Amino acid sequence: MKKVIGFLTVLISSSAFAQEGAMQMASAGITDNGLRYLAIAIGFGLAAIGVAGGQGRAASAAMDGIARNPGSAKPMFVPFILAMALPEAIAILGWLFLFLLK
C-alpha cells in the first residue's frame, strides 16, 4: 500500500511541474505543435510496421499452404484477401487519425 501511495504522490507532483513548465513555454511563444507532429509520425510509422508485418505473415502462410497443397489455392483465396485487407484497414485508420490530429 505504501508503494501505491508513493507512486501516486510522484505521479501527481510531476503533472503539477509539467503544467508550470507548459505555462512558461506558452508565455514565451513556444507551442507543442512540433511534438504533436512528431508523435503522429512515430505512431503512424509504428502502425505501418505492424501492418507490413501482419500482411507479410498472412502472405507467407498462404504461400506455404498452397505450396504444400496446390489444390487448396482456390478455397484459400477469399480468406487470404480478408487477411490482407484487415491490416490494411488499420493503416487507413492511421491515415484518418493523422489528418484528424493535424
Task: Examine the domain organization and report whether 63 and 79 are in the same domain.
Answer: yes
pLDDT value of residue 85: 87
Q: From the CB of residue 58, how many other CB atoms can be counted at a distance below 10 Å?
A: 19
Q: State whether the Cα torsion 83-88-91-92 is positive or negative.
A: negative
Residue 13: band (very low, low, confident or very high) from pLDDT cuts 50, 70, 90 = low
Task: Examine the domain organization and report whether 52 and 101 are in the same domain.
Answer: yes
Distance of CA 54 to the CA centre of its chain: 13
User: Which residues span the domain enclosing 77?
Assistant: 32-102
Q: What is the CATH number of the domain that holds 38?
A: 1.20.20.10
Residue 20: band (very low, low, confident or very high) from pLDDT cuts 50, 70, 90 = low
pLDDT value of residue 64: 92
Task: Examine the domain organization and report whether 55 and 23 are in the same domain.
Answer: no
- CA distance linking residue 33 with residue 42, whole number of Å: 14
pLDDT value of residue 68: 92
Task: Examine the domain organization and report whether 3 and 38 are in the same domain.
Answer: no
Average pLDDT over residues 15-27: 60
The residues near 55 (Cβ < 8 Å, ≥ 6 apart) are 83, 84, 87, 88
Task: Examine the domain organization and report whether 78 and 91 are in the same domain.
Answer: yes
Task: Examine the domain organization and report whether 40 and 60 are in the same domain.
Answer: yes
| Largest pairwise CA distance in the chain | 69
Q: What would the pLDDT profile of 45-77 be if each residue is shown by its tens digit?
A: 888 888 889 889 989 988 999 899 989 889 888
pTM equals 0.58
State yes or no: pLDDT of 79 exceeds 80: yes
- CA distance linking residue 31 with residue 11, whole number of Å: 24
Task: Examine the domain organization and report whether 4 and 53 are in the same domain.
Answer: no
Task: Examine the domain organization and report whether 42 and 15 are in the same domain.
Answer: no
